[in-house]
A = this chain, B = another copy of it.
């Protein structure tokens, strides 16, 4: 497999063609951004850590029968993925209140939610990725009701799988963000990444944050947090 033509650059990743039409080449960058891109930094090594962590989670999900775009890891910071057209929705799954949920509903950070909550956000930087209801999604035709039901079901299944894998490693899964995409056959599947950039992970014993909130909140030690997650997952070697 050869890395081909550059296709797209996002906030945290770059996408390239390969010499195979059904495979793309995904490169994780060291760039860190927060608050809709208003806060930016380069954290040397972040791309490598997220590539390893995301590969670990996608491999775990494969073992549980969840379809996704990830195919294989090809280097420290690169992986092969299926080409999909990402739906402009962020699917946020929450077990514990943090971040925008606390600001929206006035809940204290750390409040355990009575049920796992799924929220939809419209991926639109100019609008600030607003919360949307299923009626808004229908209105803008961002996804069909069947697609929404599928993504919600997948999101809840993924929550269960991740939570059960992380608990024995002393990691609390607070919340996470998923993105889904349609492949060439119109099949909807999980895409994007699963990493400390897109999840909130707290140490079960101390409550210490080991995710992008360290960067957002200027807590320092961002990469050390990501490194700690990777080590607890087994260094990426023994999924």
Chain A residues with CB under 8 Å of chain B are 103-106, 113-115, 117-119, 122, 124, 126-127, 130-136, 138-140
Contacts and interface: CB of A to CB of B under 8 A. Distances in A.
Nearest to A114: B139
A127 B106 contact: yes
A149 to B, nearest CB: 14
| Most chain B beta carbons < 10 A, residue from A113, A122, A136 | A136
Given A115-B139, A139-B113, A139-B115, A132 B105 contact: yes
A105 B127 CA distance: 7
A115 B133 CA distance: 14
Contacts of A104: 127, 130, 132, 136
Contacts of A117: 135-136, 139
A105 B130 contact: yes
A117 B130 CA distance: 17
A105 B133 contact: no
Contact of A126 (B106, B114, B115): B106
Most chain B beta-carbon contacts within 10 A, residue among A113, A127, A133: A133
A174 to B, nearest CB: 15
Contacts of A135: 115, 117-119
A131 B100 CA distance: 12
Contacts of A113: 139
Contacts of A136: 104-105, 117
